[in-house]
Amino acid sequence: MAFIEIDKAEKLNAWNMNDLHSHPHFEIYYLAKGERMFFLDNSLYRIKAPTLVVIPPYAMHKTEGGPFTKYNVNVAENYLNAFEKEILGKMSLNITSPTAKQDEEMQALLELMATPYKEPKYRGTVIQTLFSYYILKLSELKKASFENVSLENDRVPTVVLKIIDYLNKNYNQKITLDLLSKLFFTSKPAILYNFKKYTNRSPIDFLLDIRVNRAKELIGSNLEINQIADRCGFSSANYFGLIFKKRVGVSPANYRKHKRE
């Protein structure tokens, strides 16, 4: 389903997202004011405004920190034209910083996009035009300087980062807490404690999220549901269906139907 959503959020106090999450669309995150800790894919960054992050489909992410103002543009891949898709693809998982002049222009554009247009029947056309210009301006940005972003992986225990990387690369294999304990020479209680502290879930729950995200990608293909279940590491199509519906809210078959509409 082709769609675009733009919203602005302002928080006067500290605010943390509870869980790492992902979605099947692009998210363009623009931090206009404040400073945030940003968990993206398998790394933790500290970012300061003004900073922009392009989050590709199915990438795990989470933010936390003090007061801030930010804009979000959520856009489905099938809403994008070839140029827009290429730019967002190149910028995915990168963090970029505008100059003061670019920041002023970016925020003005985002404010226009987030404000309901006075003629509702033309809003879609106006948003599409503004968004195309916004993507053009994004293509002129450079990667963030060290003044605006720093890698903070040392704040997360190394074992957590290593296990996240392992789960992302081996999600289709049989993985248990016992196996992780043996592979990373760490006790099961220590793994559970640190995963809960930094991701708000157990490593097995994290693994299931990865598998469901990969399944969402494959559902758009011509593979049978049982083939998708097998490729994503689920023990059976029935178990896959139960987990998928619990996390997504609909069955794999209904999700496929909705995605193809």
Query: pLDDT category, 128, cuts 50, 70, 90?
Result: very high
* Span 29-40, pLDDT tens digits: 999 999 999 988
Query: pLDDT category, 196, cuts 50, 70, 90?
Result: confident
Query: pLDDT category, 1, cuts 50, 70, 90?
Result: low
* Span 53-101, pLDDT tens digits: 999 988 888 898 999 999 999 999 989 999 999 999 999 988 998 989 9
Against a cut of 0.85, is the pTM above it? Answer: no
Domain residue spans of the chain: 4-151, 156-260
What number is the average pLDDT over the span 182-203? 90
Name which CATH class applies to 156-260. Answer: mainly alpha
More confident residue, 124 or 19: 124
H or E, element range at 28 = strand 26-40
- Please give the pLDDT value at position 207: 93
H or E, element range at 9 = strand 4-11
- Please give the pLDDT value at position 161: 87
| Cα–Cα distance measured from residue 174 to residue 172, given in angstroms and rounded to the nearest whole number | 7
| Cα–Cα distance measured from residue 95 to residue 11, given in angstroms and rounded to the nearest whole number | 22
When the candidates are 3.30.70.2500, 2.60.40.740, 2.60.120.280, 3.40.50.620, the CATH number that belongs to 4-151 is: 2.60.120.280
What number is the average pLDDT over the span 159-170? 90
In percent, the amount of the chain with pLDDT more than 90 equals 55
Burial 10-23 (b: 16+ CB within 10 A, else e): eeeeeeeeeebebe
